[in-house]
Every structure is written in C-alpha cells, then in structure tokens.
C-alpha cells in the first residue's frame, strides 16, 4: 500500500505491506535507527515516537495507520545543530547508561512536558511508566526531565519576554 | 515479530465499516486502538485475513450528552477520558479508571470501545461500565441496538455482539444526586493487568441514603462481574461503618476468581473485600456534607 | 551536574560521559542497526515441549515459501559436525535439536528468508512430529534413582552433573557438634534472567572472495567469541573479525555463544551473503541463559552471646538441559565459596551439586561476579535469622562478627584472601545516615499499634575482578585483560581495551584513567572497544572485572608510556632522566624552575625529535594479570511498610553505602549503584521464571517476567566509604554489581523484620503481595 508520512518534517512516500509496523518502517525503510525495539508485548517503550503529537509505541501501530500523519522521532529533536533541552539534560544528569531506552525515554518525556511543562516527580514517574530502563534505576532520568523542564520554562519565559519587548517597541 | 499478512481496509464511515464486516464475516477483524490486537497478531496468536481499521471514522470519536445520558464514542481513547476535566464532576469514575489502564503510551492509542469488545476479564473499562450501568450501542446492517452491559460480556474474550455488529458508543446514565466513585486495583507492577480490581460508584438521594450503587469486579472471573449482593445491601442505607463493612463482605460472594500466578482465589476475594471497604469509606468521606450523610 | 571533559587531572571527578552525544541523538549503532546490502534474515523454530523425541521434521513447505533461501535442521548441522557446540562451562549444547528436545523453546530449525516477516511465515510451515516424554522440572526429583535420564549424549547415566566443595568438612562438623546455637534455613534463589533492554542478536557476513567472516554481535566478550567460533567451526581465527557494536545492556546475558549465532554463521557461509538474526524478547527470556536457580541450605553454628563460629552450606544448582554457566573453568559453582561474607568464621564447608532438568540452559552471572549474589543473599539472610534466634539486634550481631580492618589481608575459611575493607566503619555510617535508632523507635510504636514496618540490613562482601592466571581461565585462556595506548604526534590519544562496555561508561572512565596517567584531559583520549581486529586480546566485561583488570591495564599502560615520555622529556629539557620530575600534568627539570614540557610536547618529539638510539613513536600495550581479586563491600539498609489489607510492600527508604575502593568517576559510580539496586529490587519483589509440571515456561515475556518501571522503583540514597585495594594500580575495586549483589537480602530482611512479631523467619523471593497476605491472614491479621 502507498503511504505518505511526514517524519521529522520531511515528507516520505513509500509502498509498504499492511503488516509493516511503524517501528520497522522507520528503522528499515527510512533508516531512522534511533527508534529501538526491546520487546514483543508492547511493554518496554523503546520504540516510542510522537504520532500527530501523541506519544505512542510505534511497534504497536501499523505503518499504514500513519498515512497522512506526522511522526517525530529522536532524530528530529535536535534543531539546527542544537540539542533539545531534554537531550542536554539527559547528558548532564547521567540519565543513560547503555542508551538503548534513551530515544524512547526522550520522546515520552517530550510528550510529557508538552502536556505538563512543570511536572512533579510523581507526575514524571507516572508519565514515563510505559518506558522500561534496565540500567539507570530512573532516578537520574527523573532529574533530567525536571532539569529540562526548568530550562524550557526559562527559555519560554525569555522568548515571551522578548516578544513583549518587541511589541512595546513596535507600539 | 510480524503479524501474518492480511488485507487492510480503512473505512471512513460506520456504514462502510459495517458493509466490510458483513462482506468479510469471520475473516475480518475490526482494528480499534490495536493495543491488544496488534500484540496478539505479532505473537501470531491472532491471524485475521482482513483488518478493518476504524481509526479514520470521525463519528466514533468524542462524547456528548444525549437525553440525560452521556454518549461516549467507541473510538474515544483512554487518555482522552483520563484528562476530560468536564467529566470529572459528573462521571469521576471515567478518569479514575482510565489512569489505571496499562501505561500512558498505550492510553494514547487504546480505545474504550476496543477494550470492551476485546472482553478481557481484566478489562478495567468493563469493570467501570458495570459500576456505571452502561449500555453498549451496537450497529449492524439492520440498525442500532442498546445492549445493557450485564448482557454484553458472555465469556472470556466473547461478547453478545453479532459478527456484523460494530460497537459505536457507550451510554452512561447521569447520576441523580451527589455521586462519588473509586477505582481500586492491585498490580504486580505498574501497567500490569489487575491481580484484582474494583470499581465503585455511589449516588446519594436527598435523604442522604444510597440511591444508586454500582460495583464492578475486575479479573475475578471469566468476565468483569457485578457485585449485585453488595449493591443491594447498600441501596437505601446510609453510608455508616456498619453498612460499609456489611457490603464489603458481600462483594467477594459475587466473584469467581481462580488461582494463578497473581495469587490464590482466596487472596483475590479478600482483596475485593478490602478494596470495597476502602472505596466506600473514601466515598462516604467525600460525600460527607454534600447531603445529610452520617 | 558533571564537569566538562576538558578538565585536567580528571581522576575522581564527575566528568560528562563521552558516549552520550551519539546515544542521545539516536545515533548509537546497535547490532540491529547494521543493515548490509543483500542481507537476509534468520528466524528460529522452537520446541513447544520441554522434553520430547523428534520423530520427523518436514521442511518442504517452508522451503517452498516465498522469499525463503535456506532451511536448516539439526540433521543438516550434524553433517557439518555442528549440531552441538561446547558451552563455556565445559558441557556441550545443541545448536539445533537432533534426536530430542530438552526444554521448551529449544532451537529446532532455522529459516533464512529475504525479510523477517517471510522468515517468520516460513517457520510456521515446518512440521515437526514430536513424541512427548515426561518432563523433569524439579532438580531434587531429577536426582531420584527412577528419574528419566535427560542427557543421552553423556556417558554418565544420571542427571547429576558435578559435585564441588570448598572449605574444611571435618573442622566445620566438629564445631557444629559442640555449638551451643545452630540455626538452619532452606533458601531458594529463584530463576531470573538478565533481560537487557536490547535482546541478543548478530549479523554474520562471510565474504567468499576473501575468506573472511565479519561477525557483528552484541557481545560482552568479543575476543572470547572469536576464539570460541574458531574452536567450534574450525574456521581460521585470523579470518574471523568480531565486532561488538554499541551494546544495549548485557548484565551477563551477552557473554555466551547462542545457537542463533552459529546458525547465522553457517547460513552466511552457505549463502555467501550477510545473515541477520535478532531474537525476540520471548526468545531472550525463554532460551538464552538464565541466572541463579540455587536451592540452598545454610547453617550457622554460634555461641549464645552471638559469636559466629562456623558455616555449613549445601546447594542444589539447577542448570537446566545444558550446563552453560560462563564460570571460570576451575569453578563450576563460580565464586560461591565467598559465602562466608563479611564475617570472621573459624571454619566453613560449602558443597554444590549441579543438576540437569528440562529447562533452558545457563547459570550466568547476572549483574554479579560468578554465583556471588547467591552467596551474599544466603549469608545475609541467615545472619538475620541467627540474630532473631539470639534476640540480638541484627546490626549488633554483624558488628560483633565482622572481619576487623586490621585483619586484612584476610584469608577466609574457604581460601580467598580479602584485600581490604573497613566493614565496621561502613555499617556505622549507614546506621547513622539512615537514623537507625529512631527507625527502631518508630517501629516499636507502630508495632504497638498493630502496624507492620521493617528495617533490613545487608553487609555484603563481593569478590570480583577475575582473575589471577594461576587459577582463572575460560576455555583455557587466562583471565587477564589488556590495554593498548597510542599517543599521536599532536598529543591526542587512542586507546583500545580487551573488555567491552554495555553502559558502564568505559569511554569516559578509561579515558579518565589514561588522561590522569598522561597529564591530559579525558577529551584528549578516545577509547575504543569491541573490535577484535584492533583491540588487544581480553576476556570481556562481566563479573565487575573491567576496572579491576582492564582499568589496571590502562593505568599501567599509561605509566609505561610515561616512562618513555620521561626519557624524551629529559632529552628535551637537556637534563638527566633522574632530574626529571612529573607533577601530574608536565615534566620539569629538578632545580631549574620554569623549564617544563607537557605530554603534548613529548608526543610531538616522539615522532620528530627522539634521543639518539631511541625507537620513535609513543605507543604501548599492557597485559595485566591481576595478583588477586578485589573485594568491594557495603552496608545497605531498607525500610519497608506493609499494607495489611493487600500484603503489598512499600519500600519507604533505601540507603546504600558502598566501598568500592578509589573512585574514578563518582557520577558514574552513583549511576551504577542506582541501576543495580533497581535490579535487586526487581529480584526481591517481582522476578521469577516459574515452570509448570510439564516444563512449560510461565513467564516467557515482559507481561509475566516483570521489569520495574519508574513508578515501581523506590528512590535510592547513596553514600561511600573508601578503602583502596592495596594491590590494584589505582586502588579501585569495581562497583557495577555490588548493588545487585547486596540489595536482595536487605529487602527480604526488611520484610521478614516487619513480620517477625508473627514468628516469621524467612520468605522466599520474589515477595509477591500474596505471600505477605497469606502470612498475615494465617496469623489472624486483617484489615
């Protein structure tokens, strides 16, 4: 079946078997291998991507279901050579060891902060409870999300401040 | 981890979906949120020849009030009900149940209708719908019918739907007086199916006595069950310690749990009793002052 | 927050990890990310029976299926003498079954096809006619005289594999005969699985033109894999190139060679194209090597005032169908004889019997040194039972029996020589930090109110860093490890090691070690591991051996470079070598202030201006044979509250005080502790792979083999004491596994402590809520 999917801002057209799972489409057709596969029972979340803005397990969505949709993967987080605040925070807070869960964790965290820009620790733990990490024990992942949230709030504040300033100038 | 090959159909209307279901019969399987079906297909436990994907049917999404009832489209996602602030007051059980289903990622995809039709005995929605006395709106080639939830589940993974019928919505009666709900669930780990679970919905009359009691039992039988004896014991009573203790003891009597990896039947029965008492106490406290509750 | 990598004198500092920039961008390269032209996919058909004779296999429909290029059975491999392969424990294991299957999910046939989906489709078309045989699931029943004999290939007609013992039987028994107090307890360490997030897998790429086999595999021990492949297949070892790319966690799971690897290699050689095999999570849990499964009985002889005298341990080790531990050759029960732990026993006797059952093979060291978690858990559990029997505080009993710091080096009754430690200081720090006395007061108040709160202590001693060549080898190869350092003319460094990290942060910590030795920053040092064509030979990363062995090799290799650098510096400074002083970042001339050269100056000179007669270049290799093992230790305390209604246990607090000797990167050490505690928590409360009477695996995936999420996992508190290892070049001991070794006993001790007013002395792991509930209700405790 022919599908058209926008992934990380680029429109792709492909011909896929209906049974192709979105995770494999991203990895094997588009060679976006940052999206990982860690289980066969929709348990681990290593394959988490954003599908039309919602975090989903891409091993449990068919590629044909993404036809006409927008997908954001870990490869789409960095903008113009600048790491996303979540990526820097994961690095700074030692929120990864082997790195296999990291793309999924980053995408789930991205979705979490989108809906709840300043989550509590409990909200972060709840929000990431669909993603398994076997290495870190989660403490530093929670810290990283908190740190990124603060940074992003600062940036948003700054950006809003700038808008206000320029607005004043225009007046 | 690939499903068997299948033909894929993605109808954009309910009528088209029903036409396809009629056409393919047993070969066809409806794909709702897919969070149970696709894993089963990946493990090749399920291998439908045709997948009828109803995700593109807008008519099945969202909720509205109709004739004093809440009508929830079958393709409403768990996460939408979890975060539906406008329903928190009148239907608190929806959010309280939704947040216990699997994990946040699965809740973004899974749907209330899909969950009910899958008819897992550990269905959190099935349990909540029993407590809320929901009706299932099914549409087939010959029109719509409303199936009371107590007639909907037939056996494990089996419902009373005809092969060519599609669940299009759930209907929930609005509570008549002040109401409160609890969903209680014990899991082996976050996101697991329940060891045992309980949905409790209580409404009070103007006299402060229980006017409506709905109690659903999760993962303790071939299907989600109703704690009818306990419900009966609550109706017309004030929510005193004595009423609560009495009703709680009755809840396990309607359960049919089995011994398994999650625990013994006796354990699950006792969990239901403990949950019932906790839920009713919390509800009594919440409703205290709203009417003349003792 | 961590420091930048440009920091000089980086040893002991929290330096940002060098591996992270690629991993946070999704640019890691794990084995499944390797996609080669014309690559085919291999999929394995597995047995539905735990024990059955194979009457017939019909592969004709599979061979005719779309996309299928090859179908292989055990009979096909037998023609190449490859139906069986040796295990690292000296047993042999079937690659694809011939004759009969011995465990559910055993490999029966393999299909290679153009796509994964086609390979999976074709698997379903293979017809196997099985004759089911009675399954032997219980290792005790396996030893009964009338038990079916599982291994027809072996000469020994018994399910008993080996008997192993350590210590002095007679001396121990003599003490037990006269001991005033004896406690005895059966303790099971259940079957668990390392289950790293990335499952096992490989890509075999045989090039018929060059005769080379490039084998990409997610491996903790790539050199061992190369040698093992050469031994199994007879393929010339120099023509085998093993590449272990980024590894998505290992925890012991990725040390062995698995049947899928052999199948992929054979398929690639037959077909002349690359063949990929990536297992599913179910295959990972249900067929690759498990851990633990020890049925232990321990007895302590003691005086009434709490002096522990002797320890006696008897264990049945369930190894499943094939003995496939990755233990050093001379140690079939690994280092289990460390079971005397942190205590000064007069005598000890330990015996272990290995047994075959119809279960998957293994016995790997899951995030621990070989069989050390079993040992630590056992002794820490039984010490608590003794404390209860003597009505002593468990902390007090431990303090009374610790090996004292002045006793090091300490020879324990089973023969190990402990390097260093200060157990009293470590436990006292833990007691103080957690507020032990206040917690005991709170507990007393709660008990009076009928509430159940528990405090559990574990003061473990590990034995890691295998190991000295006189007694440690795998496949005959001594368990040394290695480093090779090349300093380039501009003072930048590439270093290669024989170990293979899987998240431990070697690219950072080994860079720190080398940078410290060479006066550079970690940023100047690139660490490369996992490529057998370039890295010096090493035995790999497991058993917390990387820092004790390869870390030592890195430091000593750095010193070897520095020795040559000193000569060059003398030449540059125009002074005698004895007048050159190294201050950590530069060489200066004694008594000549202001005259100094850095390692960068020396590096350039090594290629442009060496003294007369000196070999140019600045490179060195070091193979390090450790003189002894290292003995990390710690004091862990758990505080739990029990829900009387449901039996659920809530871990309210957990403090880990570790002594891993000198620390290279505190951030990474703390991260390792968090991770290991989480795995210990999972083992204590969630994880088990049970089998039914027919040998069916009841937890073959992550729906039933439970891995904790962020929501389940407690918050961890950590602290440290430092007793450097006297024999290690940088005084380090290793830490990655301590928290997994030490924590299960703390959790279980806490739960038992909570329930001790009911007379409870032991609960086997995992402590599911129903177990606690049963105990409460048996004693009439209700909500």
Which residue, among A44, C534, A9, has the nearest Cα to A23 in the 3D structure?
Answer: A44
Digit-coded pLDDT (tens) for C412-443: 999 999 999 999 999 999 999 999 999 999 99
Residues C85 and C227 in one domain: yes
Range of weakest confidence among C232-236, C407-411, C694-698, C731-735: C232-236
Mean pLDDT of C61-76: 98
Residue where the block lists tokens 């780990």: B189
With bands split at pLDDT 50, 70 and 90, how would you rate the model's confidence at A158? low
Residue B294 falls inside a structural domain: no
Residue A145 confidence (pLDDT) above 70: yes
State how far the Cα of C280 lies from the Cα of C264, in Å rounded to an integer.
15
Which residue, among C404, C419, C426, has the nearest Cα to C628 in the 3D structure?
Answer: C419
Q: What is the CATH number of the domain that holds C65?
A: 3.90.1170.50
Which residues in chain B are closer than 8 Å to C710, comparing Cβ atoms? 190
Residue C559 is encoded by which pair of tokens? 């010193």
Residues B278 and B184 in one domain: yes
Q: Are strands A54-57 and B153-155 parallel, antiparallel or unpaired?
A: unpaired
With bands split at pLDDT 50, 70 and 90, how would you rate the model's confidence at C325? confident
The interface residues of chain A toward chain C in range 72-111, judged by CB-CB distance below 8 A, are 73-75, 77-78, 83, 87, 90-94, 96-103, 106
Range of the domain at B184: 179-287
Residues B280 and B195 in one domain: yes
Cross-sheet strand order for the sheet of B50-53 = B7-9, B50-53, B28-31
Range of the domain at C645: 394-399+419-466+629-783
**Which of B140, B173, B206 finishes a domain?**
B173
In degrees, to the nearest 5, what angle opens at C-alpha C14 toward C-alphas C13 and C16? 130
Which residues in chain B are closer than 8 Å to C703, comparing Cβ atoms? 192
**Which of C287, C310, C339 finishes a domain?**
C287
CB contact under 8 A, A98 and C246: yes
Residue C354 falls inside a structural domain: no
CATH number of A1-76: 3.10.20.30
State how far the Cα of B251 lies from the Cα of B228, in Å rounded to an integer.
8
Which pLDDT value is given to residue B20?
98
CB contact under 8 A, C674 and A140: yes
Probe site for chain B from A53, A65, A111 (most B CB atoms < 10 A): A65
Which pLDDT value is given to residue C150?
97
Percent of chain C with pLDDT over 90: 97
Question: What average pLDDT is seen over chain C?
Answer: 97
Distance from CA of B266 to the nearest CA of A (A): 29
Which pLDDT value is given to residue B288?
85
With bands split at pLDDT 50, 70 and 90, how would you rate the model's confidence at A165? very low
The interface residues of chain A toward chain B in range 66-125, judged by CB-CB distance below 8 A, are 108, 112
Distance from CA of A168 to the nearest CA of B (A): 36
Residue C26 confidence (pLDDT) above 60: yes
Residues C199 and C119 in one domain: yes
With bands split at pLDDT 50, 70 and 90, how would you rate the model's confidence at C1? low
Residues C488 and C546 in one domain: yes
Mean pLDDT of A10-30: 98
CB contact under 8 A, B2 and A19: yes
Q: Say how many C-beta atoms besides its own lie within 10 A of residue C396's C-beta.
A: 12
Which pLDDT value is given to residue C326?
81
State how far the Cα of B24 lies from the Cα of B10, in Å rounded to an integer.
14
State how far the Cα of C154 lies from the Cα of C93, in Å rounded to an integer.
11
Residue A166 confidence (pLDDT) above 70: no
Percent of chain B with pLDDT over 70: 98
Residues C702 and C740 in one domain: yes
Nearest CA in chain A to B47: A19
Which residue of the set C198, C283, C529, C737 is catalytic? Answer: C737
Which residue of the set C202, C368, C412, C660 is catalytic? Answer: C368
Residues C88 and C207 in one domain: yes
With bands split at pLDDT 50, 70 and 90, how would you rate the model's confidence at B56? very high
Q: What is the CATH number of the domain that holds B81?
A: 3.30.465.10
State how far the Cα of A68 lies from the Cα of C13, in Å rounded to an integer.
50
> With contact defined as beta carbons under 8 Å apart, do C626 and C729 qualify?
no
Which residue, among B159, B164, B166, B162, has the nearest Cα to B129 in the 3D structure?
Answer: B159
As for how many domains chain C has, the answer is 3
**Which of C624, C652, C685 finishes a domain?**
C624
Residue A157 confidence (pLDDT) above 80: no
Cross-sheet strand order for the sheet of C525-529 = C525-529, C493-497, C481-487, C619-624
Digit-coded pLDDT (tens) for C474-521: 989 999 999 999 999 999 999 999 999 999 999 999 999 999 999 999
CB contact under 8 A, A94 and C17: yes
Residue C728 is encoded by which pair of tokens? 């290690």
The CATH number corresponding to A77-165 among 1.10.240.10, 3.30.465.10, 2.60.120.650, 1.10.150.120 equals 1.10.150.120
Residue C543 falls inside a structural domain: yes
Residue B216 is encoded by which pair of tokens? 């659903």
Which pLDDT value is given to residue A155?
76
Which pLDDT value is given to residue C509?
98
Residue C318 confidence (pLDDT) above 80: yes
Digit-coded pLDDT (tens) for B208-267: 999 999 999 999 999 999 999 999 999 999 999 999 999 999 999 999 999 999 999 999
Residues C673 and C747 in one domain: yes
One-character DSSP codes across C53-65: EEEEEE-HHHHTS
A48 against C329, higher pLDDT: A48
CB contact under 8 A, B104 and A42: no
Question: Which of C23, C674, C702 is the closest to A99 by Cβ?
Answer: C23
CB contact under 8 A, C117 and A19: yes
Identify any residues that bridge with C310 across adjacent strands, giving them in sequence order: C301, C347
**Which of B144, B173, B202 finishes a domain?**
B173
With bands split at pLDDT 50, 70 and 90, how would you rate the model's confidence at C558? very high
Q: What are the E-state strand segments in C382-517?
A: 410-411, 417-418, 453-461, 473-474, 477-478, 481-487, 493-497
Nearest CA in chain B to C703: B192
Residue C178 confidence (pLDDT) above 70: yes
Residue C342 falls inside a structural domain: no
Residues C777 and C747 in one domain: yes
One-character DSSP codes across C558-627: HHHHHHHHHHHHHHHHTS-GGGEEE-SSEEEETT-TT-EEEHHHHHHHHHH-PPTTPPPS-EEEEEE--S
Q: How many CA atoms lie within 13 A of C534 on its CB side?
A: 13
Sequence-separated (6 or more) residues with CB below 8 Å from residue A124: A109, A112, A142, A145, A146, C710
CB contact under 8 A, C120 and B192: no
Probe site for chain A from C32, C284, C710, C740 (most A CB atoms < 10 A): C710
Residue C767 confidence (pLDDT) above 70: yes
Which pLDDT value is given to residue B176?
83
Digit-coded pLDDT (tens) for B84-108: 999 999 999 999 999 999 999 999 9
Residue C9 falls inside a structural domain: no
Q: Which chains touch A (3 or more CB pairs under 8 A)?
A: B, C
Residue A162 confidence (pLDDT) above 70: no
Residues C783 and C755 in one domain: yes
Digit-coded pLDDT (tens) for C198-230: 999 999 999 999 999 999 999 999 999 999 999
Is C687 a known active-site residue? no
My answer on whether omega of the bond before B69 falls inside 30° of 0, hence cis, is: no
Question: Which of B3, B104, B106 is the closest to A42 by Cβ?
Answer: B106
Question: Which of C24, C117, C707 is the closest to A132 by Cβ?
Answer: C707
Question: Which of B186, B188, B267 is the closest to C706 by Cβ?
Answer: B188
Residue B12 falls inside a structural domain: yes
Mean pLDDT of C139-151: 97
Whether the complex's predicted ipTM surpasses the cut of 0.95: yes
Residue C689 falls inside a structural domain: yes
Residue where the block lists tokens 């205590």: C343
Which pLDDT value is given to residue A72?
98
**Which of C254, C287, C320 finishes a domain?**
C287
**What is the SS3 assignment for B71?**
strand
Which pLDDT value is given to residue A156?
67
Q: Rounded to 5 degrees, what are φ and ψ at B199?
A: -110, 130
Range of weakest confidence among A150-164, B147-161, C22-36: A150-164
Q: Say how many C-beta atoms besides its own lie within 10 A of residue C30's C-beta.
A: 22
Which residues in chain C are closer than 8 Å to B186, comparing Cβ atoms? 646, 648, 769
Question: What average pLDDT is seen over chain B?
Answer: 96
> With contact defined as beta carbons under 8 Å apart, do C130 and C101 qualify?
yes
CB contact under 8 A, A92 and C713: no
Question: What average pLDDT is seen over chain A?
Answer: 92
Range of weakest confidence among A1-10, B173-182, C241-250, C680-689: B173-182
Residue C175 falls inside a structural domain: no
With bands split at pLDDT 50, 70 and 90, how would you rate the model's confidence at B291? low
Mean pLDDT of C92-119: 98
Residues C643 and C602 in one domain: no
Residue B153 is encoded by which pair of tokens? 């589940």
Residues B187 and B152 in one domain: no
Mean pLDDT of B116-141: 98
State how far the Cα of C213 lies from the Cα of C335, in Å rounded to an integer.
35
- C-alpha Rg value of chain B to the nearest Å: 19
State how far the Cα of B44 lies from the Cα of B42, in Å rounded to an integer.
5
**What is the SS3 assignment for C638?**
strand
Sequence-separated (6 or more) residues with CB below 8 Å from residue C638: C454, C455, C456, C651, C653, C654, C743, C746, C747, C749, C750
**What is the SS3 assignment for C711?**
coil
Q: Rounded to 5 degrees, what are φ and ψ at B198?
A: -145, 130
Residues B168 and B202 in one domain: no
Is C220 a known active-site residue? yes
Residue C54 falls inside a structural domain: yes
Residues C608 and C680 in one domain: no
As for how many domains chain B has, the answer is 3
Sequence-separated (6 or more) residues with CB below 8 Å from residue A158: none
With bands split at pLDDT 50, 70 and 90, how would you rate the model's confidence at C595? very high
Residue C467 confidence (pLDDT) above 90: no
Residue C305 falls inside a structural domain: no
CB contact under 8 A, A101 and C711: no
The domain segmentation of chain A, as residue ranges, is 1-76, 77-165
With bands split at pLDDT 50, 70 and 90, how would you rate the model's confidence at A169? very low
Which residue of the set C118, C220, C502, C504 is catalytic? Answer: C220
Q: Rounded to 5 degrees, what are φ and ψ at A10?
A: -105, 135
Which residues in chain C are closer than 8 Å to B43, comparing Cβ atoms? 282
CB contact under 8 A, C710 and A74: no
State how far the Cα of B50 lies from the Cα of C460, in Å rounded to an integer.
58
Which pLDDT value is given to residue A167?
34
Residues B40 and B70 in one domain: no
Which residues in chain C are closer than 8 Å to A142, comparing Cβ atoms? 710
Residues C704 and C771 in one domain: yes
- Chains A and B form CB pairs within 8 A to the count of 84
Mean pLDDT of C347-352: 98
**Which of B119, B140, B173 finishes a domain?**
B173
Residues C581 and C692 in one domain: no
Distance from CA of A152 to the nearest CA of B (A): 22
- For residue C715, the 8-state DSSP code is P
């Amino acid at each position: 079946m022919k599908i058209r999917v926008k992934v990380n801002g680029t429109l792709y057209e492909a011909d896929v078997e209906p049974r192709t799972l979105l995770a494999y489409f991203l990895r094997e057709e588009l060679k976006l291998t940052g999206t990982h596969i860690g289980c066969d029972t929709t348990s681990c979340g290593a394959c988490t991507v954003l599908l039309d803005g919602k975090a989903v397990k891409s091993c449990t969505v068919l590629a044909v279901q993404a036809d006409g949709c927008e997908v954001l993967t870990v490869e789409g987080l960095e903008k113009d050579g600048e790491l996303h605040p979540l990526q820097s925070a994961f690095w700074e807070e030692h929120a990864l060891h082997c790195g296999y869960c990291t793309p999924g964790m980053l995408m789930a965290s991205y979705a979490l902060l989108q809906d709840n820009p300043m989550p509590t620790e409990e909200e972060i733990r709840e929000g990431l409870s669909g993603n398994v990490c076997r290495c870190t024990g989660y403490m530093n992942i929670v810290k990283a999300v908190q740190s990124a949230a603060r940074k992003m709030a600062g940036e948003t504040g700054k950006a809003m401040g700038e808008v206000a300033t320029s607005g004043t100038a225009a007046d | 981890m690939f499903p068997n090959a299948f033909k894929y159909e993605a109808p954009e209307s309910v009528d088209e979906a029903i036409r396809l279901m009629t056409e393919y019969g047993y070969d066809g399987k409806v794909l709702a949120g897919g969070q149970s079906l696709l894993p089963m297909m990946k493990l090749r436990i399920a291998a439908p020849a045709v997948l009828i994907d109803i995700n593109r049917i807008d008519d099945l999404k969202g909720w509205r009030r109709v004739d004093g009832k809440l009508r929830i489209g079958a393709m409403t996602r768990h996460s939408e009900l979890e975060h539906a602030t406008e329903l928190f007051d009148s239907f608190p059980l929806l959010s309280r149940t939704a947040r216990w289903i699997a994990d946040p990622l699965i809740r973004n995809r899974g749907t209330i209708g899909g969950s009910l039709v899958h008819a897992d005995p550990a269905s959190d929605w099935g349990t909540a719908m029993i407590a809320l006395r929901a009706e299932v709106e099914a549409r087939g080639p010959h029109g719509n019918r409303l199936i009371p939830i107590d007639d909907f589940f037939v056996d494990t993974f089996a419902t009373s739907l005809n092969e060519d019928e599609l669940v299009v919505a759930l209907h929930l009666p609005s509570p008549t007086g002040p109401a409160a709900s609890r969903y209680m669930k014990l899991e082996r780990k976050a996101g697991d199916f329940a060891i045992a679970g309980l949905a409790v919905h209580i409404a009070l009359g103007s006299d402060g006595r229980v006017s409506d009691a709905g109690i659903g039992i999760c993962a303790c039988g071939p299907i989600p069950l109703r704690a009818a004896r306990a419900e009966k014991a609550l109706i017309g009573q004030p929510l005193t310690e004595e009423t609560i203790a009495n009703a709680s003891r009755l809840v396990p009597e309607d359960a049919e749990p089995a011994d398994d990896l999650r625990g013994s039947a006796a354990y699950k029965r006792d969990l239901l009793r403990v949950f019932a008492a906790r839920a009713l106490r919390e509800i009594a406290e919440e409703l205290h002052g709203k009417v003349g509750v003792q | 927050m961590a420091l930048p990598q440009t920091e000089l004198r980086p040893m002991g500092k929290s330096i940002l990890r060098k591996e992270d920039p690629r991993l946070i961008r999704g640019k890691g390269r794990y084995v499944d990310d390797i996609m080669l032209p014309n690559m085919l996919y291999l999929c394995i058909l597995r047995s539905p029976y735990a024990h059955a004779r194979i009457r017939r296999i019909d592969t004709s429909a599979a061979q005719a299926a779309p996309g299928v290029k090859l179908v292989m059975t055990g009979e096909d491999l037998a023609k190449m003498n490859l139906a069986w392969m040796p295990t690292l424990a000296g047993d042999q294991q079937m690659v694809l079954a011939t004759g009969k299957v011995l465990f559910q999910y055993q490999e029966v046939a393999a299909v290679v096809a153009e796509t994964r989906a086609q390979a999976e489709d074709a698997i379903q078309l293979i017809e196997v006619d099985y004759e089911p045989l009675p399954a032997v699931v219980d290792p005790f029943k396996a030893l009964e005289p009338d038990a079916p004999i599982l291994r027809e290939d072996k000469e020994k007609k018994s399910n008993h594999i080996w008997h192993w013992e350590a210590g002095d039987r007679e001396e121990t028994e003599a003490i037990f005969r006269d001991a005033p107090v004896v406690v005895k307890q059966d303790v099971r360490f259940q079957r668990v699985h390392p289950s790293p997030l990335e499952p096992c897998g490989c890509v075999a790429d045989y090039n018929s033109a060059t005769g080379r086999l490039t084998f990409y595999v997610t491996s903790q021990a790539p050199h061992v894999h190369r040698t093992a492949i050469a031994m199994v297949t007879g393929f010339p070892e120099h023509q085998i190139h093993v590449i272990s790319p980024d590894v998505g966690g290992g925890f012991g799971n990725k040390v062995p060679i698995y049947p899928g690897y052999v199948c992929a290699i054979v398929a690639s050689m037959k077909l002349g194209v690359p063949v990929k095999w990536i297992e599913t999570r179910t295959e990972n849990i249900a067929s690759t090597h498990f851990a633990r499964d020890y049925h232990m009985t321990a007895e302590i002889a003691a005086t009434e005032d709490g002096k522990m005298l002797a320890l006696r341990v008897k264990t049945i080790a369930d190894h499943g169908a094939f003995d496939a531990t990755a233990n050093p050759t001379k140690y079939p029960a690994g280092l289990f004889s460390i079971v005397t732990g942190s205590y000064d026993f007069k005598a000890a006797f330990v015996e272990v019997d290995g047994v075959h059952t119809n279960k998957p093979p293994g016995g790997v060291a899951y995030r621990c040194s070989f069989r050390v978690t079993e040992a630590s858990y056992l002794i820490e559990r039984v010490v608590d039972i003794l404390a209860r029997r003597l009505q002593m505080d468990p902390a007090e009993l431990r303090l009374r029996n610790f090996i004292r710091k002045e006793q090091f080096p300490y020879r324990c009754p089973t023969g190990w020589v402990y390097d260093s430690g200060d157990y009293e200081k470590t436990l006292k720090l833990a007691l103080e930090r957690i507020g032990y006395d206040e917690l005991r007061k709170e507990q007393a108040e709660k008990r009076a109110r009928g509430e159940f709160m528990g405090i559990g202590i574990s003061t473990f001693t590990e034995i890691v860093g295998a190991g000295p060549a006189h007694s440690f080898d795998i496949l005959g190869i001594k368990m040394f490890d290695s480093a090779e350092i090349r300093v380039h003319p501009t003072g930048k460094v590439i270093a290669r090691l024989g170990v293979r990290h899987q998240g431990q942060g070697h690219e950072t910590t080994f860079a720190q070690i080398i940078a410290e030795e060479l006066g550079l920053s970690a940023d100047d040092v690139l660490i490369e591991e996992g490529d057998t064509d370039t890295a010096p030979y090493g035995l790999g990363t497991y058993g917390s051996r990387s820092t004790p062995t390869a870390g030592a090799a890195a430091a000593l290799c750095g010193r070897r470079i520095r020795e040559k650098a000193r000569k060059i510096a003398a030449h540059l400074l125009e002074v005698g070598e004895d007048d050159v002083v190294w201050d950590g970042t530069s060489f200066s001339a004694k008594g000549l202030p202001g005259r100094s050269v850095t390692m960068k100056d020396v590096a350039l000179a090594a290629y442009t201006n060496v003294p007369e007669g000196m070999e140019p270049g600045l490179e060195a290799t070091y193979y390090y044979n450790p003189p002894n093992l290292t003995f990390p230790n710690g004091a862990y305390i758990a505080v739990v509250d029990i829900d009387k209604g449901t039996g659920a246990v809530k871990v309210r607090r957990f403090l880990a005080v570790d002594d891993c000797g000198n620390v290279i990167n505190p951030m990474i050490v703390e991260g390792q502790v968090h991770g290991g505690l989480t795995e210990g928590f999972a083992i204590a409360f969630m994880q088990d792979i049970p089998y039914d009477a027919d040998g069916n695996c009841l937890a073959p995936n992550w729906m039933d083999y439970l891995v904790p999420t962020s929501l389940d996992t407690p918050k961890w508190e950590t602290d440290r004491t430092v007793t450097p290892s006297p024999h290690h070049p940088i005084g380090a001991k290793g830490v990655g596994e301590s928290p997994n070794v030490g924590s299960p006993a703390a959790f279980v001790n806490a739960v038992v402590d909570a329930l001790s007013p009911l007379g409870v002395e032991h609960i086997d792991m995992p402590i599911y809520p129903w177990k606690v509930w049963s105990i409460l209700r048996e004693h009439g405790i209700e909500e």
